[in-house]
Amino acid sequence: MTTLIYVGIGLLSLMVVGLIIYLITRPKKKLDASLEYTTALNYLINDQKKEALDKLRDAVRNDTGNIDAYLKIGDILRDQGFHERAIKIHRGLTIRGSLDYRQKIDIYKSLIKDYQVAERHDKALKVADKLIEITRGELWAKNIKLKLFESAGEWDKAFDLLKSLQKIKGKKNKQRLALYKVEAGVKCIGEGRERDGRLKFREAIKIDKNCPPAYLNLGDSYIRENRNNDALIELKKFVTQTPEYGYLAFDRIKEILFNVGAFGEVGNMFRTLLSKYPDNEKIRFALVDIYERKGQLKKAIDLCYAGLEQNADSQLARRYLVRILTRRNEKNEALKYAMKLIDDLYHQIDDHFVCKVCGYESLEPKWHCPQCSEWNSFLD
Ligand SMILES: [Zn+2]
């Protein structure tokens, strides 16, 4: 019995000794690789890419199976502008046999970015298709493809894909679809095909009747072909359809009507608009502008005063008043509004300190930006 116990103890101690020997002599490669890799990751967090790259290279030298290290080496090289080398590394990874699902996805995502930076859009799209295939059509993968269509300016394909995506999600975003049509139209016009472009703009309006750039581009296209009346019809339609954005068309409308000498019509149009939207400064001062151009300075000034009654701080009102009062030789009154404008200017300068990095505004200079965490970024 005791011999059995001794044998048992003997075996146990052999196992312990064996374990200790294994722990001391086991191949150090793995340990080193993961140490280098961890150090590299910390450098990456601090955005020290050069140091990270050195450590990652050490890591793969010690362990050629460290896929993630290779992946990151490629990513850094791409960020440093060596996209062809990044492509080579990332493509090399795709043919490895030992990849797990996450690694495959990460590699394809990196490869897509490489091809994008290298402006090889066809290749990027092919990889995106692979990504969609291995994720069995995950929406996020299809969204990557959508972004690729966008950056390649393939607006018709982007339109079809977004439409099918919206069908799957059951959410309809008419605005984006219409904007794709607008982009397609702008592209046509860039290629000298005004008529095709206008067809696209009309399709956009059919999808979203409140799509500002569709009307504006349609108007511009007619203006380029000296079809001012057609342009005017579209622009007026736009102003009545979306009065809140109508001001975007004001300059074009004024330009056309002044060119054809239709002062009366342009005045009427803006007066009607102003009576509908009396709070809208953009309409008010478009009308002031018209009165001024027609030489009806008294009417222009009265409209400015009315504007100041609604909004005592209106800088637009003061600017017009300075100019128009000067034209009427009412220099003291003009000076009064000029002084107010200058006061405002100083007030703005005194009041604000702005982070030079992220634009965060503060009444006091901050020494450590609360938004972007930059140091000493508020003063010159
Ligand atoms: Zn900041």
- Tell me the CA–centroid distance for residue 346 and ligand 1, in Å: 23
- Tell me the CA–centroid distance for residue 374 and ligand 1, in Å: 6
- Tell me the CA–centroid distance for residue 371 and ligand 1, in Å: 5
At 138, the amino acid letter reads E
- Tell me the CA–centroid distance for residue 365 and ligand 1, in Å: 11
pLDDT tier for residue 14 given thresholds of 50, 70 and 90: low
- Tell me the CA–centroid distance for residue 25 and ligand 1, in Å: 52
- Tell me the CA–centroid distance for residue 51 and ligand 1, in Å: 26
pTM above 0.75, yes or no: no
Tokens 């009545």 map to which residue? 240
- Tell me the CA–centroid distance for residue 373 and ligand 1, in Å: 6
For residue 305, is pLDDT > 60? yes
- In percent, the amount of the chain with pLDDT more than 90 equals 53
pLDDT of residue 28: 47
Mean pLDDT of 155-163: 94
pLDDT of residue 93: 93
- Tell me the CA–centroid distance for residue 376 and ligand 1, in Å: 9
Q: How far apart are CA 43 and CA 4, in angstroms?
A: 56
pLDDT in tens, 26-60: 554 455 568 889 999 999 899 899 999 999 999 89
pLDDT tier for residue 23 given thresholds of 50, 70 and 90: low
- Tell me the CA–centroid distance for residue 303 and ligand 1, in Å: 41
Q: What is the chain's mean pLDDT, rounded?
A: 87
Q: How far apart are CA 60 and CA 52, in angstroms?
A: 12
Mean pLDDT of 185-207: 96
* Distance between start and end Cα atoms, the chain: 88
- Tell me the CA–centroid distance for residue 116 and ligand 1, in Å: 30
**Beta pairing partners, 354:** 361
pLDDT in tens, 109-149: 999 999 999 999 999 999 999 999 999 989 999 999 999 99
pLDDT tier for residue 266 given thresholds of 50, 70 and 90: confident
Ordered domains of the chain (ranges, CATH): 171-242 (1.25.40.10), 274-351 (1.25.40.10)
Tokens linked to 255: 């330009």
